Structure 1
Amino acid sequence: MSGHVGGAGPLSPRAKLAVTAGKAAAAVSRAAGRGSGSVIGGRVALKLDPDLLGRLATHLDVVLVSATNGKTTTTRLIAEALGASGPVVSNALGANMPAGITSALAGGSDAKYGVIEVDEKYLAGVARDVTPKAIALLNLSRDQLDRAAETRMLAEKWREGLSGTKAVVIANADDPLVVWAASSSPNVVWVAAGQEWKDDAWSCPACGGVMQRPGDDWFCGECGFRRPAPSWVLNGDYVLDPHGSAWPIHLQLPGRANKANAATSAAVAAVFGVPPQVALERMYQVQAVAGRYDVVTFQGRELRLLLAKNPAGWLETFSLIDPPPTPVVLSVNARGADGTDTSWLWDVDYTRLAGHPIFVIGDRKLDLAVRLEVANLNFRVCESLEECTQLAPPGRIELIANYTAFQDVRRVVGN
């Protein structure tokens, strides 16, 4: 873009110094083998210039993507779609708090679009800083019980933070918490993207009354809060646009949840003038997202890597795996990034794995073993992924892990 060489218009000397120092810190961190360095780089840059995030975004049309599940994948799909009409900068690896976002934008001086995944707790603050053109809200469900407040409080923060926003909000009409949060915004595009996990949405977020759920509809019998009429609808392998045209969704990513992510992404792309057909065709190029859904070879065995961070995510993931007797490896940690409270394991219906040979690893393998024991499932606790692959019967192995356990597995398999 002419006139924007070197970032968000002409950056002030302080902002330039902050960007340079951040990049240097990131390089040192990478050289020390501590990951991409994006978070430490962003922290250093923001310390030197607290307004840097806003400055870096001034020349960009920004989309923010927030949700409990599906943020990283949807961010990637939107970035692919918008790439049809100009260069895109994105925090594609999921560093989704202000430091990681700042770091990503600092690398996108010639971009036209910023497609940014944002941690749910930081959405309102980041939206204030970067003045987004669009905000995609996918879902809200329980996650990291020790860290994130109860979902109703998160919805309240979104509702207050987005009140009166100038952004077009693209929101899931099937999730009552998202609808309540988005309803304070003057310009909302509703997408019928579905909601398989309903256990966080049985009481009305507006008044606390009991939610009625006939079929795919929902409403509160007490205050009249109800599902809005969607203008985009996911219908099987198609997305229906506001004109009633049906566009086929062809993805290499598996499962219904990713079709929902694609439907939302098509609605976002349309805000920026990218037609559904073009947007959806570009999404087909995505085979894996930060290692998720990758099929790798390890010790002569094929492993498919699946990430599931919370009950809603596990439920979606169970619907993806090959039928029994496909062997399944489950790995659960409870480190800081996962949330240290593992009581959520009791919210997951592990009986869906009946008939699969199950192997259990990870820091909290014994917590998981107790849960599987109560569910009357056959499983073996193993010390390592190597041991699992040696004991597993023939065929592709499905590996499901929560956040840090997934990163551990990627290191072991060299992915």
Structure 2
Amino acid sequence: MAQQVQFQLHATDGKARTGVLSTPRGEIRTPAFMPVGTAATVKAMMPESVAATGADILLGNTYHLMLRPGAERIDRLGGLHRFMNWSGPILTDSGGFQVMSLSELRKLTEEGVTFRSHIDGSRHVLTPERSMEIQKLLGSDIVMCFDECPALPADEATVANSMRLSMRWAERSREAFGDRPGHALFGIQQGGVTPELRAESAEKLVQIGFDGYAVGGLAVGEGQEAMFGVLDYAPDSLPADKPRYLMGVGKPDDIVGAVKRGIDMMDCVLPTRSGRTGQAWTRRGPVALKNARHADDPRPLDEACTCPACRNYSRAYLHHVFRSGELISSMLLTWHNLHYYQDLMQGLRDAISAGEFSAFEADFHARRAEGDIERL
């Protein structure tokens, strides 16, 4: 019989938690940051390089994979893990968020969403049942239930109607998912920035029963202050013995603030996207390699970092290859950013285990406040 997905908390410090989410494909150390492999690839990275940064789990995208190359095709080719050569756990989102961002091309009903492909205009229908089917064909280890996510700001009635529709879809997702040993289904809390709606959503999800719970509908334009405002109470309404996942977050300071408030898992395209646009994330904050100040700088991007970009190349070289549009620029800067993010997660886990989260947080903010090293 397949091993069940299990979550074990090892230590807490205030609301911050560290533990392990065990799956048949491997252990996920929490707090965990999941690099995004939208179309069955983490852009500009080999899978073994992603693993070398310290990532335990990747995120795949239901919407993009169902359109190209198609879930049925991936299934015929042995499932997503074999297809993309990643042997560790994979979480797939439900497609709900992407469909939200297609508001011009979609029609929403109680049944689900009808939309036109952004690739070729072909018509598709995504329902909770179809989302569960696609994610099963992909073979993902952690499946997200299908939800509707309104863009913020939105009026309370809109948010309330959307949340209740998502809860009905959560029930249908749970039913369609069925009993799949070795695979987990996460519910998604909605409710915008309204405490009463968040509480109602959490109550409904717990009643249905999931293997983990996401705080959804944030990082969609409400700003960090409003997001932290919700995270001050929202995770507390979700079961303490299950993993809590904040979807689509974020910048390093968002991550530290989310972990402080009880979040266990996060994902974001930021480190990979930044890597392709010449932005590096470092202990001293973001560094724009396109700036002329780096052109003659023989020093590493971050002397404390052990990634290949920092170990083997100068700022001058990274500036040159970015300005020249060379592919190695995306490769090196993406590797660095993912390495930095995983270093940050390891630092958070160690600090929580040692009961030193507050000191870690203070040091994190103090180093960023110093800014980049002085120019030569």
TM-score where L is the length of structure 2 = 0.30
Higher share of residues assigned helix: 2
Larger radius of gyration: 1
TM-score where L is the length of structure 1 = 0.28
- Asked which structure has the greater RCO (Cα within 8 Å, sep 6+), the reply is 2
